[in-house]
Structure 1
Amino acid sequence: MLLEAHALTLKQGTGIATYARNLAHTAGSLGHDVELLIGIDRGINRRDPLLSEVALSDVVDPKAIDPLKWAGRAVDWTIGVPGGAKAQRLPAPRIVLDPGSGTAAERRHPTQGAVRLWERSYLHFNRFGRRMAIVPEGRHDLFHATRPTPAFVKNSANVYTIHDIVPLRLPYSTLDNKKYFYNMIKHIVNKGDHIVTVSDFTRRDVLEFFDVPEDRITNTWQSVSVDSAARSISDDDAARDIGNRYGLNFKEYFLFLGAVEPKKNISRMVEAFAASGTTRPLVLVGGLGWQYERDLEMIEDERLLSWRFDGTHIKQERRVQRLPYVPRASLLSLIRGARAVMFPSLYEGFGLPVLEAMLLGTPTITSNTSSLPEVAGDAAMLVNPYKIEDIRDAIKAIDADADLRAELSSRGRKRAEFFSPERYAERMKAVYDRVLG
């Protein structure tokens, strides 16, 4: 099995990276020999494999001009990739891999690299209106793209996961090329052997927007797993971790997880937080996405400054704080230590932060739109994400009511069982058995 997992190479974690990581583990547990497929900047020189390995992990000056790369782009733009993109098995790592890249943790799986995989598939599709062939080393009975990709492997069953169709549903919220996105999705739902979605909501969206037989598209939901060592950490240890690292007190802050981008609804959330009157801070964990200027202005608004007397000095503090990146272990501690996780997004194909919060027993405020009620069930406070007063009232209620927090914590853990790795494996097995006959 060849599993497209390019999202794992990104410096900051994404929901698709988590999906790819979980899917690789799940497919392996089902008995598949999993190889990962990622994009690389340059091919492997077999005569100097060590130097090639170093080059794959090298940091390139973004201002530097690479004539060969630009020449390659010009060729791909003109004629596409009619012969297919060759993938090469990467050597077993001998160098110290960048711990900030998800592939460092996943290189226990054999990995193949295709030069400029995403860019070349995009250029090929724009030139010919069809998928680019990938020519991997070895034979693979199954190719699974973890996000919509106009690429395929010959003589393999080709499966594609569609997480959402945000560029079409909320066109104002993304910078995607909408014409390309529409034509590319239309093509892969017609040519792929099977389509997987991560929620019933996304499945219905795809069926509404595209002409695809219902029996060729399956919702498997998602799963998230937390290893037993991380889950066994005591509250005292988690409290020390977040206190030492971030100066936060256990259960004395609200938490948001996600990139700063329009669909995350950050400005309304911050307005509601300011109006709630809570004295506890709001912590946002996530990098900058796109069209984030207005949200950053809201986060940095001087109205959200406060003053605290620590017994010796009067200190200025921000009621809204942003942490661009948090290591996975500390992220779990932050979720466990939050009074509540807030996720009033406008649109989500699944909403992993809601599941992660429920799994760790943290009360959650989320939206009554898109897939989020489907994930949360009766285990979260659901709000209209377009109404600031709804979000404000939920914050006030969950902040003041310890019994409500305890009830949501209990319901959340129970609801998370529906998305367990074991149940997810059963759903993926059914899909793979079907396409492989």
Structure 2
Amino acid sequence: MDGRIIAQPGSGIATYAAALHRAHKQLTETPLLLKDDSCGSEAPPPTHKERTIRWLRGLMTASIHANFKKISSREAILHAPDIYRLAQVRFRQTRNMLSVQAPRPKGLIHWSLPVPIRIAGWVNIYTIHDVIPLINAELTPMNSQRHRALLEKIVKTGDHIVTVTNSAKQSIINVLGCPPDAVSNCSIAVTPAEPERCHLPQPLLPGRYFIFIGSSERRKNVSRLVSAYKTARTSLPLVLVGPHASYVDPAAGIWNLPFQSAERLSALITNARALVFPSLAEGFGLPIVEAMALGTAVLTSNEGALAEVAEDAAVLADPRDEASIAERLRMLAHGDDLVRSLEERGRSRAANFSADNFTKKLSQLYQELFSKSTMDHV
């Protein structure tokens, strides 16, 4: 698999990549990671000369060789210099994929996110987490036209697409026009970090606050959540984890914390009355399953991937209706029996997203695709 995003923890995509890597360790003795020198390091911004050289290389380089390096009995990499940046530059210029020549003629690579690279002669699988930028471009900062061009190229040249929910799968089929059998929902393994033993910041008390976790993208629906919370007039504080300092209002009970370590975040979720996550658009919705696994009640959206992932283990609200969100917040604030029921149902639902289930789905898919590839070349 690609080894770049693993070195950038914190996002849902990086969490997925880490889960994919763990699954690969279960499936083979020495899983390969395709890396370049930028992986795992903070590189300084490129100079004008470096950008010019990369631009010229991207225009002229259609193929690049990767060298096999065995680090230990349990770790090996394929190394290709500057491959990830070079591929992006080349795609922006030419709308063509960068081809990698590997030292082994046959193999399978699972790209954990859409990248404009393929290994020649291998089975190339790409995970497309969602097509939100193509459906609701106003909800994300991503360049919609460029992303569409990349996804269309991947669908055309890749051997298979993997995604994380049936909702995302159907959207990929509808928007990109792929055959249904070209896309598989393999879900994701969700394993929250062990909660850190810590004191809650003032004025938070165990079981007496709501928590939201996420970025400031419009699709996260933070402004409507804040308005709904003020309408609900509950005595429980609302804690926004992420870049949301502009919403802080101690008089209204609204607090902000910056992004936390995984262990600290698990502790904050565990001690919350409920996680509130009425997002407008998600491919999966990692925070709601993490909360369920930690035994915390969940409020989330009544549509799309979030409703699919939650099923009956969460309180569902119309994410576009402030009154709907406010009513559910009041239900959770005052409904002790409801909260206890959600905690129990949540733990049961979260068990569906186990590492074993994820690894089994991947194993079956890899065997099918590799066998088909072998037969096609007989």
Task: Please give the TM-score of this superposition, normalised by the length of structure 1.
Answer: 0.78
Identity of aligned residues (%): 30
Change (3 A) 1:281 1:178: same
Offset at residue 146 of structure 1 (A) = 0.5
Which among 23, 27, 30 is matched to residue 30 of structure 1? 27
Q: Matched residues in 2 for 1:66 and 1:414: separation? A: 52
Aligned amino acid, residue 35 of structure 1: L
Which among 46, 55, 61 is matched to residue 81 of structure 1? 61
- The 3-state SS of whatever aligns with 2:121 is coil
Aligned to 1:207: 173
Aligned to 1:312: none
Offset at residue 177 of structure 1 (A) = 2.2
Cα deviation digits, residues 367-398 of structure 1 (max 9, x gap): 01220111001000010000011111111110
Aligned to 1:357: 291
Over aligned residues, Cα RMSD in angstroms? 2.5
Aligned to 1:241: 198
Cα deviation digits, residues 279-312 of structure 1 (max 9, x gap): 22212223x4xxxxxx654x13xxx222xxxxxx
Cα deviation digits, residues 324-350 of structure 1 (max 9, x gap): 221111111111111000110000000
Work out whether residues 223 and 421 of structure 1, in 8 Å CA contact, stay in contact via their aligned partners in 2. Answer: yes
Q: Matched residues in 2 for 1:248 and 1:36: separation? A: 42
Work out whether residues 86 and 135 of structure 1, in 8 Å CA contact, stay in contact via their aligned partners in 2. Answer: yes
Which among 10, 14, 36 is matched to residue 13 of structure 1? 10
Q: Matched residues in 1 for 2:2 and 2:186: separation? A: 18
Q: Matched residues in 2 for 1:416 and 1:175: separation? A: 30
Offset at residue 87 of structure 1 (A) = 6.1
Q: Matched residues in 2 for 1:90 and 1:285: separation? A: 40
Cα deviation digits, residues 208-231 of structure 1 (max 9, x gap): 11232221211111121247xx3x
Work out whether residues 242 and 334 of structure 1, in 8 Å CA contact, stay in contact via their aligned partners in 2. Answer: no
Structure 2 matches for 1:324-363, cutoff 5 A? 324-363=258-297
Aligned to 1:305: 250
State which drifts further: 268-277 or 80-89: 80-89
Instruction: Note the residue ranges of structure 1 that are not aligned, 5 or more in a row.
Output: 43-55, 93-107, 289-294, 307-317
Work out whether residues 30 and 76 of structure 2, in 8 Å CA contact, stay in contact via their aligned partners in 1. Answer: no
The count of residues paired between Structure 1 and Structure 2 equals 370
Aligned amino acid, residue 13 of structure 2: I
Offset at residue 320 of structure 1 (A) = 2.1
- The 3-state SS of whatever aligns with 2:63 is coil
Aligned to 1:261: 217
Q: Matched residues in 2 for 1:345 and 1:195: separation? A: 25
Offset at residue 201 of structure 1 (A) = 0.6
Which among 222, 225, 229 is matched to residue 273 of structure 1? 229
Aligned to 2:360: 426
Work out whether residues 80 and 123 of structure 1, in 8 Å CA contact, stay in contact via their aligned partners in 2. Answer: no
Q: Is 2:333 aligned against 1:377?
A: no
Structure 2 matches for 1:97-246, cutoff 5 A? 109-136=75-102, 141-226=107-192, 230=194, 241-243=198-200
Aligned to 1:4: 2
Change (3 A) 1:40 1:263: farther
Work out whether residues 88 and 114 of structure 1, in 8 Å CA contact, stay in contact via their aligned partners in 2. Answer: no
- The 3-state SS of whatever aligns with 2:304 is coil
Aligned amino acid, residue 241 of structure 1: C
- The 3-state SS of whatever aligns with 1:148 is coil
Q: Matched residues in 2 for 1:319 and 1:436: separation? A: 55
Change (3 A) 1:140 1:273: farther
Change (3 A) 1:399 1:200: same
Change (3 A) 1:81 1:425: same
